[in-house]
Amino acid sequence: MASPVFGQNYEQIAKQIVNTSAGVKPGELVMITGGQHTLPLMEAVAVEVARAGGQPRMLVNTDKVAHATTVEIPESAIQTSKSNSWTLGADVLISLPSIDDPKAVSAGFTEERQAKFAQVAADGGINRKVDATKLRGVSVAYPSRSFAANEQLDYPSYEQMIWAGIGADYTAISTQAQQLKQRLATGKKVHITSPTGTDLTFQLAARPVFVDDGVVTAADQQEKMYLSRAAALPGGRVYVTCEETSGMGRLAASPSTWNAKPFKGFKADFKSGQMANAKADMGDEDFQKWLALRDASSMKIGYFSIGLNPAMKGQKDYTPSTAAGMVLVGIGGNELQGGQNKGATGANFPIANATVEVDGAVIVRNGQLVSPATAKAAPVSKKNRK
């Protein structure tokens, strides 16, 4: 399944999405969303939904329309999307990327407009509404040549990685995820360090721990929170919110992108959970504009995640959150993830080659996942953290 041939076999991928990951049943209404560039796979998914007895409905976007509805729409007309009602009324949502070229779509999309869109969405209460439904969802990645070009990635390697990640061994990923979930569910204090200077601690506060192992099981479908009823392909991630006032120390992020531009050398301090002294060596101008339009709730530590998918690999400044051993720290609103911060927006920062300790036990060492037996060993020394 991890071969390039798998990436071209949309019918086979659709069977995995519809039957294995989403578990579509006869009579269920299935919303399938995506962009014009994903139409071949959307069509295959819709056909497979029909074969499973479901009722497929497709919603297709284009980059030109996406640009118009974010950049060209009059500011006075920005409001909660009425299409949310379609999604909330469905049994299953299967979503593919709606945008092919993020850089082109976001051209002219000012920080002020972004902030307004985010606030309108938060005021609409979509997080509370989706939790109150029985909706379950599967989000599916799709390799884009424009995205690869913007990220300066070798397209054939990137494309093969995406299909390999979708076709990964999710049974093994699920086993590892459940072991980490148990440790995080009972843990209290997390300590993250990295060779680039991260030295950050925070408390877990017995929050819900979410597992994305590529499949929404029958048990998952009964969960109250939407994120427990959702999966991603490529999947492979465990994540949990932090006690919002507990973050202390220093965060040094790995290179990534901000507004589809290089974002490097980012560092920030945390005190009582609040981010301060945030600055990047490259891409700082756009980040500071974003920062200036956000309130204090957007600057609070929110959650962290650990990637579990061995097929996903970082390339240059591309740091997929599902890559095995990749650590992500998020700030801002975390209500959907079971947190107490109802802020309208937030951001997340990757930390490659990180070491993660939970109550002194190492669960990630230098970017490598640690087995449960090894995790019981003594924590790494300060010398090894450098």
Kindly write down the DSSP assignment for every residue of 327-353, as one continuous string. EEEEEE--GGGT-S---S-EEEEEETT
State the average pLDDT over residues 298-313: 95
| pLDDT of res. 344 | 79
Give the 3-state secondary structure of residue 183.
helix
Please state, in angstroms and rounded to a whole number, the distance separating the CA atoms of residues 191 and 181. Answer: 16
Query: What is the value of pTM for the model shown?
Result: 0.85
Q: How many CA atoms lie within 13 A of 339 on its CB side?
A: 28
Could you tell me how far CA 81 lies from the centroid of its own chain? 21
Q: What percent of the chain has pLDDT over 70?
A: 94
Phi and psi torsions of 125, nearest 5°: 65, 35
* Nearest CA among 324, 41, 318 for reference residue 165: 324
In the chain the domains, ranked by start, together with CATH numbers, are 1-167 (3.40.1830.10), 170-211+235-386 (no CATH)
| pLDDT of res. 298 | 92
The pLDDT mean for the chain works out to 90
Q: Is the model's pLDDT at 385 over the cut of 50? A: no
| pLDDT of res. 379 | 45
Query: End-to-end CA distance of the chain, in Å?
Result: 39
Residues 112-136: tens digit of each pLDDT: 888 888 888 877 877 788 989 999 9
Provide DSSP, 201-217.
EEE-TT--EEEE-S---
| pLDDT of res. 374 | 54
Convert 307-342 to b/e letters by CB count within 10 Å (16 or more is b).
Answer: bbbbbbbbbebbbbbbbbbbbbbbbbbbbbbbbebe
Convert 273-306 to b/e letters by CB count within 10 Å (16 or more is b).
Answer: bbbeebebeebbeebeebbebbeebbbbbbbbbb
User: How many Å is the Cα radius of gyration of the chain?
Assistant: 20
Q: Which residue has the tokens 């990327």?
A: 97
| pLDDT of res. 386 | 39
Residue 252, strand partner residues: 267
Phi and psi torsions of 320, nearest 5°: -65, 135
Residues 140-198: tens digit of each pLDDT: 999 999 888 888 889 999 999 999 999 999 999 999 999 999 999 999 999 999 999 99
Q: Is the model's pLDDT at 297 over the cut of 80? A: yes
Pairing label, strands 361-365, 368-369: antiparallel
Q: Is the model's pLDDT at 381 over the cut of 80? A: no
Residues 250-280: tens digit of each pLDDT: 999 999 988 878 899 999 999 999 999 999 9
Question: Which residues 6+ apart lie within 8 Å of 216 measured at CB?
Answer: 21, 22, 23, 136, 137, 138, 229, 230, 231
Q: Is the model's pLDDT at 373 over the cut of 70? A: no
Q: Is the model's pLDDT at 327 over the cut of 50? A: yes
Q: Is the model more confident about 7 or about 60?
A: 60
Question: Which residues 6+ apart lie within 8 Å of 383 measured at CB?
Answer: none
| pLDDT of res. 6 | 44
Token code pair at residue 353: 């080659």
Please state, in angstroms and rounded to a whole number, the distance separating the CA atoms of residues 179 and 370. Answer: 11
Please state, in angstroms and rounded to a whole number, the distance separating the CA atoms of residues 316 and 148. Answer: 11
